[in-house]
Amino acid sequence: MIEIDATHTPYEVSDLDAGCLLAVISEGRHSALVLGRQQLRLAHQWCVVNPVVDGGSAASWCDDAAFASLDLDDFLGGEGTPAVAAFAA
């Protein structure tokens, strides 16, 4: 199976020794962490640019009265996070 590394160089997976395999796995894990951090920053900015305006409502986990008895946080994100306008999420 052919893969592409971070420098866009193709390599054959079956040709890798143990050390190279660990390096590729570590590189992939690092890339996943960087991508996850970027997604969190972008999601936060989405909340910032879609605030709850006067008279508006914040996005919540559920507006259905059937679920009112469940012990859920009222709003997405929970305490300490910016409220995002309903339907923006």
The H-assigned helical ranges of 1-67 are 18-49
- Judged against a pLDDT cut of 60, whether residue 30 lies above it is answered with yes
Give the other-Cβ count within 10 Å of 84's Cβ. Answer: 23
pLDDT score, position 82: 75
Give the other-Cβ count within 10 Å of 57's Cβ. Answer: 13
pLDDT score, position 57: 76
Cα–Cα distance measured from residue 12 to residue 29, given in angstroms and rounded to the nearest whole number: 19
Q: Where are the domains of the chain?
A: 2-49, 51-89
Q: Is the pTM of this model over 0.75?
A: no
pLDDT score, position 68: 55
pLDDT one-digit tens code per residue, 34-75: 999 999 999 889 888 988 888 777 777 666 555 555 555 566
